[in-house]
Structure 1
């Protein structure tokens, strides 16, 4: 007779440390570290490993899970797998969870399969809800600026989505400071606040320090930083070569040009600083992103439970001395990692 799996019970002490931040001036709270399902949660990956990571994250106080319509591969499969975990394990905790998804990149053929039209955004969210088995998401994002659709239409669609009850909050991702101000103003006039921005940010990709973080602070918006580990560059993974199963070897979103000798020299120097702090490089990289008061949450990925635990242990030491920050600044420079810069610089019609 096959063994019956014991029912999973969430850790009753998962909120004891109160490791969360307020998202700008809103009532939304986010854990200091969020689990993103961008990589390793698709249909080509091992489902039980995904399930174990999601349960472990929740047991350790992570109540925000970040998705997008195109996450996989194949596109849509990360939402399907997350919906399965919800039905099996986390569904009874739905009112504790913050679940986010996005739309902006290509999902289906034809002119309404990507970008920022009202038709695409609303259709995409309807599909996302169906894949996850949800009535609503907590946060819905415009994943990128559409250079051809009026920004007023894109933001109007976000307003409509909130008013329809399909999302509680809305945000934007990879918008420039100028476009962020315009988007915020349109939504404010409509009566639906833009509460959060999701940009890339790491020690090797500091573009948000060139005006975006100041803009978010001025507007009272929160900020969740994705790719704080620079897609694995800011870990011990590439210190001694390129592992066969790494993102760089597989040539997906990680481009081999990121592994320049200059970048690797910087990473090795940063690793020595982390060692002196008693942290792994990944832990220091996450803590460094969280040092900024504008950052509500650091959005991480993970390949397995041990990697997840290592990243979450960054919360054990979030303090930096002035001397440490000055030394980090010697090596924390642009490494050509911002693949989303074109989107943030786009100037959609008014």
Structure 2
């Protein structure tokens, strides 16, 4: 099959899968919230006392008495037009809330993703090169402990140690309190970003480190590496020439497949550090019954995770077909 036809077929399948995914996610999420005890009118007015006439208008606006099927079709129709509704908490369009919060979350997740990938890859290489030694055992123990550590617990420990006890970093938020946006410096933003990003990246190290270790051990025991050793190659030079370039791409693919764990971890980290990202908005929407915002975040998260899987699938399909061939022979 020509490359253009293969690419067109691949793109068509992915677009169809995205449309199907969003349709299922929207329907299931909407129905789960619809049959939950959430009352959008009560969530909107809070503790305020309103007249029956005003309450009736709000019920009509939110479609409280509208059949679920009709309400879903109306909501889906608005989504197709780009109208996600109005957030009950922030009193502004959901699309604007997500746009405002998504950038802060993107900076946090991108920093953590890069750091965890690089650190995990290096630790995996070191462990694979020193298989069976105390270095290998130490790295494996470190990874096992990290894999079993709850995200919120590690975030609380780092917060208590480095912010409360030592005072090295701010306790929370993404900028200093009481400082206008134009007076916030780049250093201020970095200082507020370090602990949340460190928490999220440390937890992402384990998976990539253990995967890289196993792949490197497999590569170093292959026939062509044994032949290279017979030619006199050894040590770090052997790993650099034959090991890293054979394990790097599968490791990157796995890192992209971890977008769902990255997003889930960011939700907890943002809540602990009061970091104003999309994760904190999702928690606030759930706790305060902000249905439009909650549904908007669900759609955003589905697209975010799909993009990570799409990049991984693209590498899997086009960049290095050996990954596909290796799995087929297992």
TM-score by length of 2: 0.24
Higher relative contact order (CA 8 A, sep 6+): 2
Higher Cα Rg, which structure: 2
Bigger strand share: 1
